[in-house]
Every structure is written in C-alpha cells, then in structure tokens.
Amino acid sequence: MPQFLQTTDPDFEAQFQALLSMKREDAPDVNAVVADIIADVRARGDAAVFDLTAKFDRVALTPETMVVSETDVMQAMEAVTDAEIDALEMAAERIRAYHERQLPRDEKWTDSVGAMLGWRWTAVSAAGLYVPGGLATYPSSVLMNAIPARVAGVQRLDMVVPTPDGAMNPLVLAAAKMAGVDTIYRIGGAQAVAALAYGTETVRPVDKITGPGNAFVAAAKRQVFGQVGIDMIAGPSEILIIADAENDPDWIAIDLLSQAEHDESAQSLLITTDADFGRQVATAVETRLASLERHAIAGASWRDYGAIIVVQNLGEAAALTDDIAPEHLELCVANPGALADNITNAGAIFLGAWTPEAIGDYIGGPNHVLPTARSARFSSGLSVLDFMKRTTIAEMTPGALSKIGPAAEILAKSESLEAHGLSIRARLDRLNE
C-alpha cells in the first residue's frame, strides 16, 4: 500500500518533507565510467563507438551499418499498420501546430536617446536526438523532440537509437521519417552522446542534444554540456492528481497507474479533500493492478513511492503542489481553471476529469518532455525555444552615444577597465572636435 497522509496529522510536515526528499533515481555513481567512455570516443572515434556498442548492445557495426539506410526506413514503414501511421500523422500534425505558435518574434525599436535596440532569434544549426532503443521504445518521443526542432528551423537533425541484439521498433523509424530526421545512427549509451557532442569519422557533431536516457546517458549529457547544449536531465516519471469526491475512483486509479507503469522508480500521488474517496482510489488501484500487463513495475512504483494525501481544502492542495512541483498535474475538480491559477510549479497541467495525462503523452499537442524531480520550480518542458538562440542588437548614433556614453565611461572607470572607458572617450572626443 502507498503512504496515506493527512494534513491534520501532527507529524504531517515531517512525513511530507520525507516524501519530497525521497530518492527515486536508481542511479549508481557512473560519472567515472562515463568520463572514460567520453575520453575513449574523443580519442578513437568510430572504433571506440563500435567496441562499446558490441560490448553493451551485442551488435557489430561498421561505418556503413552504423547509419540506418533509407531502405531500412522504408521497410519499417511497410511493417507499420495503416492505423498506426494515421495515429502518428494526427499526433505529428497537432504537435507541429502547437509548437508553431511558440515561435518568438524578432524585435527592433529606437529608444528615447535615438539608439536602435532589439534582438533576433535564430535556430541552432544541428541537433542530436537521443531515443531509447530496443522493442519497447517510444515513437511519440521522436515526434516530441524532432518536430519542435524542425519548427524552430534547425538545418540538420540527427538521431541516435541503440539497437540491443539488433532490435529496433519500426514505429520509431516511421516517426523519424515523418518528423524529418536526416540521419539515424544505430548507437546508444554514453558513447552515442559523446559521438554527437564531439563527432567521429562517421557521426557529425551537433550543437544541442535532447532526449531521455538511462543513468549513463544522463551523466554523459551533464559532462558534455558546454561543448554542446542539452535540454534537461530527466528523472523517473511522476504524476500528481488533485481530485474531489465527485470523480470516478477507477478513472483516477488508472491515471495514477499510467505513470507508475513507466518505471519502478516512477511516482504517482493523489491529493484529495475526501479521505473515503482516497481509500476508494487505493482499492481501485489494487483491482487494476491485478490485470495490468506491467503490474510488477507499476505495483512496485505504487508500493514504494505512491502516496495519498488528504487535505482540508483546495487551498492546501495548491500549496502542497507548489512544493512538489510535479512533472504532470491533473486537476479533477469542479473548477480546474481556478485551481490552476493558484498553482505556479508544474511541468504540464491537465484540466478536468476528461483530460487524462496520457492525452498529453501522445496527441494533445503540448510537449511531453517535461521537468522532473521538482525541477518544474525553475524550468520548463521542451519547446521550440530549446532549439533557438537570441542575439541582441544595438546601434548607436553619434547623438545617442553623446547622451549615454559619459555614464558608460564612468562605470568603466569604476571597474578599473581603462580600455573600456577609452573606447568610449575616443568617440566622444571626436564628436567635440
């Protein structure tokens, strides 16, 4: 059974803080191993990638077979059903339409002293997408990473996907084709991240790497940051549902399990104003677990990291939510919009009982690559902006420089940066000649 907490309990705050500080990442210290892998790839290029792929994925590669051929992609497309293609196309269309609205505008204006100021947005030149591999893979993640990059204007889009024992999900290749991925490499792990960051004889380096992976991939992304940009370090999935007693307990139970089935370290939380309803949901979860295909995984997640929190009112629920800062937040209450207005920290919010989180995973439109482990307090989900950079623009006229230059000169002198001040003074003196 999950934890059952009530805000009226005298030790609630201690229990709640213990819940927040619970370490769910089953990630041993892999930094030294990853550092060695990155150094090896930098030193030996393709040879290191081939050796590591043979060791970890049991696949022998050559420069020719490392790249997934167009023939392989077309064969994969033929292996996918029409219904699956239609579903991918609908998802791609909705994801593209949503992210097109995120495109920022360039700005330029003349201020009160006559200086022209502004900024412009441009896309990174090349992005690398990491996609977890094997048969149990996620074509939806391909769409969620690749489509925003294309909408942003990324010129080259490369993807790495491990193929343990040679296995690759045809839907992943179909999604990559649909989303406009240029090159697909049959490699994964820290060696794939290193190859994307530094390049090899076959793999071209990129400017930014996005996409989830295991502890080795996460550590590699941390270590190559600075050489390239990264999106975020994603942890186990999580969901928080705020629900009143007017809901169907079975619906709430299924929604909790939708994240629990991802990973034994995933976390599913329910906040409710009705203790009896919370107990009904707990019973419904156990009933559903009995027939769930991934019952062992979901059961371990619910048992070890799940919790039901009973609050006195929705104000308490909102305050707790901001402390939890969940990746996914479902608001199954009478007025979800009003409650959402009182919550600041969440990766994605799903309003009302008819908006299950799973819609956001596949077909809703917003991105499903979201901040975890309370990082929604300071970061956002993947967007078009993750593949773009802003360059500021300034142009001084002689008149503008004469008005603001003296103040800049004073500040330069106060920082003991003589040449800074002289670069301004030389121009001001010319104006006075």
- Sequence spans of domains, the chain: 3-25+235-364, 31-103+124-230, 396-431
- DSSP letter assigned to residue 231: -
Q: Are strands 116-123 and 388-395 parallel, antiparallel or unpaired?
A: antiparallel
pLDDT at site 136: 61
Contact criterion met (CB below 8 Å) for 291 and 299: no
Please indicate, yes or no, whether the overall pTM of this predicted structure exceeds 0.85.
Answer: yes
Q: Burial code of 244-279, b = ≥16 C-beta within 10 A, e = fewer?
A: beebebebbbbbbbbbbbbbbbbbbbbbbbbeebbe
Give the Cα-Cα-Cα angle 32, 36, 37 (nearest 5 degrees): 115
- The continuous run of DSSP H or E covering 3 comes out as strand 3-6
Rounded Cα gap, residues 357 and 255, in angstroms: 7
pLDDT at site 327: 97
pLDDT at site 235: 85
- In angstroms, the Cα distances linking 193 to 65, 220, 282 are 18, 6, 41
- 327 tagged catalytic: yes
State pLDDT tens for residues 354-388.
Answer: 999 999 999 999 999 999 999 999 999 999 999 99
Rounded Cα gap, residues 28 and 202, in angstroms: 31
Rounded Cα gap, residues 255 and 8, in angstroms: 26
Q: Residue 321 is which amino acid?
A: T
pLDDT at site 135: 55
- Give 239's strand partners: 268, 328
Catalytic residue of the set 328, 330, 357, 368: 328
Instruction: Say whether 31-103+124-230 and 3-25+235-364 share the same fold.
Output: yes
Structure tokens of 121?
């947005």
- 328 tagged catalytic: yes
Low-confidence ranges of the chain (pLDDT < 50): none
Q: Residue 411 is which amino acid?
A: L
Give the Cα-Cα-Cα angle 123, 384, 265 (nearest 5 degrees): 125
Match 């080259």 to its residue by tokens.
156
pLDDT at site 214: 86
Contact criterion met (CB below 8 Å) for 125 and 159: no
Give Cβ neighbours of residue 338 (< 8 Å, ≥ 6 apart).
none
pLDDT at site 176: 96
Rounded Cα gap, residues 193 and 203, in angstroms: 11
Q: Under the phi-then-psi rule, with left for phi > 0, alpha for psi from -120 to 50, and beta for the rest, what region is 199? A: left
> How many Cβ atoms from other residues are within 10 Å of residue 292's Cβ?
17
pLDDT at site 26: 54
- DSSP letter assigned to residue 168: B
pLDDT at site 23: 66
At the second CATH level, the architecture of 3-25+235-364 is 3-Layer(aba) Sandwich (3.40)
Catalytic residue of the set 327, 330, 357, 368: 327
pLDDT at site 28: 64
Edge-to-edge order in the sheet of strand 388-395: 107-110, 116-123, 388-395
Does domain 31-103+124-230 bear CATH number 3.30.365.10?
A: no
